[in-house]
């Protein structure tokens, strides 16, 4: 089984992801890094951060130990969002970035995300190379050649300044509830929003190492909805544990997911001449309503495989400026080289300020098609594409739906299951077809 998934390494901390593994991965990454520099006299530099999980403390120490033992200087930045690590790598000219986080997963899980020079996620080929080098014999540096550890006390302020520099309008007069998921956003999001001029009510912003994503954040929106309605706020912002995604709640309590946010930003960017080639990059999971809305707005949509890394790869290859996922990973290449939940929140609220419209009004750009998603587990997901019976069932139901719906079957890149997604004009039709397809998948792949 491959060590790296679609978003780095992830697993149960101290069981799947141990201190020993973290150290070995760091050493292997350092070897790949040193070799790629082509200059043995240049001391490589790495930025290392973490979210608020208790296990991040020992895993971060292991990563730092691995890198420095292999001759890499490490700048420790503490608890910061994942996109802050990507930004700092690019801003400081560092050679590597390491983020210890399991994103929206519960507290017992953790992960390792790696960033290359420029702040971009490592290519699949580099991840494979690192995995192949784990545990190899190596000559250890000594004396002045070992890496050093530097505490970067100003990293947080640099990141906040970067976020604020993306704005061209004050957010004054807008009341925001921000749900920090008791994660990495807790120490940054409320400050950035306040400095941008908004009136801020911060919730789930007291991490204790164990409460990250616990009934709060982007995967538990009821908590934020209640806070928005209670405080009569204009908008609610929900981040995940490492704050690389953003979902929203409008003043009426409606969920504004990544498709809505992407549609709103695409229209706003286009109106201000900032949408390259009038094109936005999305994924195959984007709602049919999003595709319809973009067509009506005369905005072209490029669809990629699921995963923000694939969205970004397409954006870089074609020099597009905006892309994202339904899950709330939004990438704005004019400001950042990776998805950034805090940046997304600021730009979404800025669109409210620019247009003087409520979030509810802005969201009317799109009508969401009912979507049903069923995860089928306990099966041989790798056989999905080779099953004639499943292909025939999909073709049958696609013919029934015609232009009024859509079907997508996808093997998960991070879990042992197949996702069955159906969109239709009504919940009942979508549910009926999804359940029938899920039954076929279960029978054919067990």
What architecture is the 371-445 domain classified under in CATH?
A: 2-Layer Sandwich (3.30)
Q: Are 118 and 337 contacting, i.e. CB atoms less than 8 angstroms apart?
A: yes
Q: Are 207 and 183 contacting, i.e. CB atoms less than 8 angstroms apart?
A: yes
What would the DSSP string read from start to end of 285-321?
Answer: TS-HHHHHHHHHTT-EEEEE-SSHHHHHHHHHHHT-S
SS3 content of the chain, % helix, strand, coil (to 5): 45, 20, 35
Per-residue pLDDT of the chain (446 residues; tens, 9 = 90+): 578 887 789 999 999 999 999 999 999 999 988 787 766 678 899 999 999 999 999 999 999 999 999 999 999 999 999 999 999 999 999 999 999 999 999 999 999 999 999 998 888 888 999 999 999 999 999 999 999 999 999 999 999 999 999 999 999 999 999 999 999 999 999 999 999 999 999 999 999 999 999 999 999 999 999 999 999 999 999 999 999 999 999 999 999 999 999 999 999 999 999 999 999 999 988 999 999 999 999 999 999 988 888 999 999 999 999 999 999 999 999 999 899 999 999 999 999 999 999 999 999 999 999 989 999 998 888 889 889 999 999 999 999 998 889 999 988 876 778 999 999 989 999 999 999 999 999 999 88
Residue 220's CB is within 10 A of a number of other CB atoms, namely 17
* φ, ψ of residue 111 in degrees (nearest 5): -160, 175
Query: Residue 235 corresponds to which tokens in the numbers above?
Result: 């908008």
Q: The tokens 């033992």 sit on which residue?
A: 69
Which amino acids are annotated catalytic?
103
Q: Are 286 and 307 contacting, i.e. CB atoms less than 8 angstroms apart?
A: no
Sign, CA dihedral 267-326-240-338, equals negative
Identical topology for domains 9-153 and 158-365 = yes
Topology at the third CATH level for domain 9-153: Alpha-D-Glucose-1,6-Bisphosphate; Chain A, domain 3 (3.40.120)
The helix (H) or strand (E) run that includes residue 395 is helix 388-401
Query: Residue 307 corresponds to which tokens in the numbers above?
Result: 């995963």
> Whole-model pTM?
0.90
Q: The tokens 């490589």 sit on which residue?
A: 44
State the DSSP code for 8.
B
- For the purposes of burial, counting CB atoms within 10 Å of the CB of 223, is it exposed (0-12), middle (13-18) or buried (19 or more)? middle
Q: Give the CATH superfamily of 158-365.
A: Alpha-D-Glucose-1,6-Bisphosphate, subunit A, domain 3 (3.40.120.10)
Sign, CA dihedral 362-366-367-371, equals negative
Domain ranges of the chain: 9-153, 158-365, 371-445
């Amino acid at each position: 089984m491959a060590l790296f998934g679609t978003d780095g390494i992830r697993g149960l901390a101290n069981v799947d992801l141990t201190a020993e593994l973290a150290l070995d991965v760091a050493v292997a990454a350092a070897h790949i890094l040193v070799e790629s520099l082509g200059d043995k006299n240049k001391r490589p530099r790495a930025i290392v951060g973490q979210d608020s999980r208790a296990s991040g403390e020992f895993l971060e120490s292991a990563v730092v130990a691995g890198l420095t033992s292999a001759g890499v200087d490490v700048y420790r930045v503490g608890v910061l969002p994942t996109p802050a690590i990507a930004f700092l790598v690019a801003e400081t000219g560092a050679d590597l970035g390491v983020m210890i986080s399991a994103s929206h997963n519960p507290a017992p899980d953790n992960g390792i995300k790696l960033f290359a020079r420029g702040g971009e996620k490592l290519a699949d080929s580099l991840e494979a190379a690192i995995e192949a080098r784990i545990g190899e014999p190596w000559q250890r540096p000594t004396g002045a050649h070992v890496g050093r550890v530097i505490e970067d006390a100003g990293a947080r302020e640099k990141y906040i300044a970067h976020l604020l520099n993306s704005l061209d309008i004050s957010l004054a007069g807008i009341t925001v509830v921000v749900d920090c998921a008791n994660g990495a956003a807790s120490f940054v999001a409320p400050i950035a929003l306040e400095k941008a001029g908004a009136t801020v009510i911060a919730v789930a912003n007291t991490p204790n190492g164990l409460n990250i994503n616990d009934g709060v954040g982007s995967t538990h929106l009821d908590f934020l909805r209640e806070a928005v309605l209670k405080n009569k706020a204009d908008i609610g912002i929900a981040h995940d544990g490492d704050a690389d995604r953003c979902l929203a709640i409008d003043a009426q309590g409606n969920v504004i997911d990544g498709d809505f946010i992407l549609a709103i930003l695409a229209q706003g960017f286009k109106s201000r001449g900032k949408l390259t080639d009038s094109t936005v990059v999305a994924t195959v999971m984007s709602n049919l309503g999003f595709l319809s809305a973009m067509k009506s707005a005369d905005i072209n949509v490029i669809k990629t495989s699921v995963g923000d890394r694939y969205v970004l790869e397409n954006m870089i290859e074609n020099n597009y400026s905006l892309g994202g996922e339904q899950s709330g990973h939004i990438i704005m290449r004019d400001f950042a080289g990776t998805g950034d939940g805090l940046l997304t929140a600021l730009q979404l609220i800025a669109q409210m300020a620019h247009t003087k419209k409520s979030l509810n009004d802005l969201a009317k750009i799109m009508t969401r098609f009912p979507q049903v998603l069923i995860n089928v587990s306990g099966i041989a997901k790798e056989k999905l594409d080779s099953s004639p019976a499943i292909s025939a069932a999909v073709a049958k139901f696609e013919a029934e739906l015609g232009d009024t719906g859509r079907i997508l079957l996808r093997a998960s890149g991070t879990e042992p299951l197949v996702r069955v997604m159906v969109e239709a004009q009504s919940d009942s039709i979508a549910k009926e077809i999804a359940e029938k397809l899920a039954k076929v998948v279960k029978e054919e792949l067990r």
